Every structure is written in C-alpha cells, then in structure tokens.
Amino acid sequence: MHTSEIIAGEPHLGQKPPSPAPSIDKSILQSKSVPLTVDALTFGASAVGSFNTAPRPDDPYRYQTGFGNRFASEAIPGALPPGGQSVPQRCPFDLYSEQLNGTSFISSRQTLQNVWLYRIKPSVAHYPLQPMSQNPDIEACFSPHNSNIQYTPLSYCWGPLPLPTDSEKVTFVEGLKTMGGHGDPTHKEGLALHMYTANTSMSKTAFINNDGDFLIIPQVGRLGIQTELGRMIVRVGEVCVIQAGIRFKVSLPDGPARGYIQEIFGTHYELPELGPVGSNGLAHPRDFETPSASFDIDSSEWKIILKLTGKLFSYTQNHTPFDVVAWHGNYAPYKYDLSKFNAIACGMKEQLDPTVYTVLMAKSKIPGVYLSEFAVFTPKWLNTQDTFRPPYYHRNMATEIGGLIYGKYRGSVKDMVPGGLSCENSYMPHGESYEAFKRASTAELGPELSGEGALGFMLHLSSHFSITKFAMERHPDLKPQKPKFWEDVQGHFLDHLDKVNDILVAVGRPKLGANAPIV
C-alpha cells in the first residue's frame, strides 16, 4: 500500500469526483494569442503553440522536436489531467492512468526517464502469457559459456541478408537475426547486434522488448512504426530508437525491408558531450523527432509478442494496445534524419578520431567508458595538407562494427556492399591496403568531397564482441578471409639504409648492425 493511501483515509462522501469529460472553452482553442495589452501600431504576432514538424510526401505524421524533452501530447483536447497531478481520482474521459518507468524510482533527476499514459484500457487487461516457438536466430546471452556464440579475434565481413521471397511471409519480428554481442540483459549491461529482413506487415500483433532499447537503422524500405505513444515513418537515411517496454508494430509501406538493429541492455542512448566543439556541432537536439499522441478504437483480438532474455512469449487481449489518448514524460520513442548531422573535419592538417562523427552514445557501468558509440559517415569536405587522408593503420581497444546503408564503400580491404556488415574485434590491427597506402602517400592533395552519394555507419563497442552461430555458419553471405592479402606490403625504411647509416655516423653512433652480436 502506498503511503498516500494510508494518510488519505476515506474520501468525504459529499465530495464529488471531477467530471470525467472536462468542458473545454472553445474560445481558448480558437485563440489567436493576441496580448491583452497591445499597441496596434507595433504588434506583430505571437505563437499559438509549440513547434511541430509538418507532414511530408513520404511521411504523413507530425512530430514534436527535441532530445530528452519532457513532452506532453494529447490526441483529444483536455485528455491530459490538469497540472499538478498525474493520477487524479478520475481521469478526463474516464481514461486509465498508467506509468511506464525506464529508470529506477531513485534515479537522479538528470537520468530519470518515465512516461504517464492515459489510455482506454490498462495494459494489465490481457490473457495469460504463453511460451512461443522460438526463433533460433535470436540471441541475448553472450557469456563465453554459451555454445551458440564464440569470442574470436578474427575479422569478419558479411554481405546483405537476402530479402524474403514472395512465397514466404516474414514479419519484422520473425526476420530478426542476431549477429553478435556481449553482456547479458539480466545483468543490465551489454548489447546485441541484429540484422532484419521482412516482407509482411504485422497485423493485429504488437511486439514488446523487455531486454533493452532498439536503435533501428533501415537499409531497404521505409518502416511504418506504430507505438503506444504515436506513429512514425522511418525512412532509409533515418534511424529510430524504441525503448524497452514500449509496445510497437511494424508495417511495410514500400514492401520488403531490410536493416540493422543495435540493442543495448540496462542503459539508454544519449547525445555525446560536445566539449571544445561548442554548442553547434554533431547532431542538433532540435532535429530529433518524437511522435504525437495517436490512438485507435479496436475491440478485436490482438496478439502481443514479448522478448525476454532472447526468448519469445505471447499473450492475447481483446483490445488494441494502441489506445493511448494522451501522454506526458520523457520516455518516448524518437527518430533522426542522418542527413542533418553536422560533420566535423580538420581544416589544415592531421586526422580526427572517428568518434567526432558520433550521433548517439550509451553509457556502460564503468565511469567514463561508453558501452557503444553510434557514428555516421556522411559527405564532408577534406582539405587537409601534408596528411595521410585514408584511415591510418591502428589497433583499437574498442570493437569496430561497420555498415553501409547506401552508396559505394570507399575502403580497400573489405568487400562491403549496401546492407553488408563488417567486424574488427578489439586490439586487432587493421587499415587500408598497401596499394591504397601508396596512392594516398604520393597523391597531390586538394579539396575533396568525400563520401558523396554514400551513407555508412560505425559502432564503437568498448568490449570484446562475440559472433553467433548464425553469423558464422548460417548467414548466406559470409565473405571469405584473404590469407595472402598483406603479402606484398613492403618495408620502405630498408630503402634508406645508406642515408640512415650516414646520419648515425655523423652523430657519432655506429652503423646499423655494426655492433650486432654474432649468432
């Protein structure tokens, strides 16, 4: 029992609860927001509401803008309770109040995430849960003791998953394939990387992921995503985040679809710190779009599929899960158009680390270390002089996962195509081919528009990354290793031994090999 129930006692019998359908002053709705005191000669205009995006030809919905905002949205005016309380004795229109928490109750105000929903029927109104037949290609436990995964230092490259044939009926949930990950949702730490294909819209079926937050990256086909908090169209070139515990369904307005998903356990995505970049770089908070309240009236039977530790369960209910008439809070799905990313590059010399292309990050439990960094490679001008412009040879404590959404891959080692995926595990050396090195070392440098017509991404993961059996054995397009790829690399330092020895003699030191021990 809540403390408030103990203190409140019995209500006064003569006190009537507020009307469930509040009366709305139509003059307020029609207000033009003209100041009470106005100089007709100087008054220009006043806003009549906050900014919402306008519908577009390929996206009919309006969105609220901002990142991490505490939004308030109502599909019916007056559906939200009056300010000062979220749980009135009777909600407007006799809606049910329901809170969804994305963080623990005792989280700091800075990290607290929750949303209050005002819906036609509460989520608890459903029939008992039942185990489902499992998707053998979904994995959530990445312990080294799990025989379905393997930690390996090898480099990997995969082609795109083939789209389902017309004879198959594959929904978004049925088309999930886990490529790898680390950690475990029961420990609230780690992540999973999935690829998906689908050719069938979800009908009278919703999905709820209890394991973590989805970052969805479409590569083929728009996704029509209906969530409890509203609707989104996610186009190729956009990404969206759907947090754990939020029910959603996916339709396919363009037919067959394909893409990538990064799922994080026990944490949420946030914007990276800007530091010396200042206030105007990378992904601008105002460009993130959150759906507005939208509800259906539907008393037919629905199936809800639930994922917990990678296992699937389901239950049925005799009403739609998408009946939220109003909501307020900051635990809400959102999307972002990657073409709006403000890329940063050096102006004169040197290379910046690729983390300057980070759109979203997720914290790990280790202070100062991020679980994952989602970086995007959009077109940018390269102007640096006396600088090796391709990615330099390096070994990274982070695992690097690369994907190509569209366009031509500019690297020289991987056989990457749109829809493909690559993996360089932590501390393993990688870089461009010897031929690419020679070209870049001798090229005449001038301004260059890099990445025109292409869109790629990279995930920097701060841990080792396991590969699933699906990715190693059942993926239809695992690219073969190239065992002799680096055989032609030359050590050109050896071409300068005479000059090196002259320098050593000039400074009073022996020539190379002069004092070497006789073996």
Residue pair 259/217 in contact by the 8 Å Cβ criterion: yes
Question: What is the number of other CB atoms lying within 10 angstroms of the CB of residue 151?
Answer: 14
| Cα 74 to Cα 30, 132, 291, 440, distances in angstroms | 17, 35, 11, 56
Q: Is 400 labeled as ligand-binding?
A: yes
The residue among 170, 164, 163, 261 whose CA lies nearest residue 209 is 261
| Cα 98 to Cα 101, 111, 389, distances in angstroms | 10, 20, 54
CA 504 centroid distance within chain: 55
Backbone angles phi, psi at 109, to 5 degrees: -55, -35
DSSP string, 130-195: EE----TT------TT-TTEEE----EEE-PPPPPPTT----TTTTEEEEEEEEEGGGTEEEEEEE
Which region holds residue 390: left if phi is over 0, alpha if psi is between -120 and 50, else beta?
A: beta
Residue pair 370/462 in contact by the 8 Å Cβ criterion: yes
Q: Is 394 labeled as ligand-binding?
A: yes
Question: What is the number of other CB atoms lying within 10 angstroms of the CB of residue 18?
Answer: 13
Helix/strand/coil percent split, the chain, to 5 = 10, 30, 55
The residue among 136, 202, 206, 207 whose CA lies nearest residue 169 is 202
Q: In the numeric block, which tokens belong to residue 282?
A: 């990378």
Extract the annotated binding site for Fe cation.
Answer: 394, 400, 430
Extract the annotated binding site.
Answer: 394, 400, 409, 430
Extract the annotated binding site for homogentisate.
Answer: 409, 430
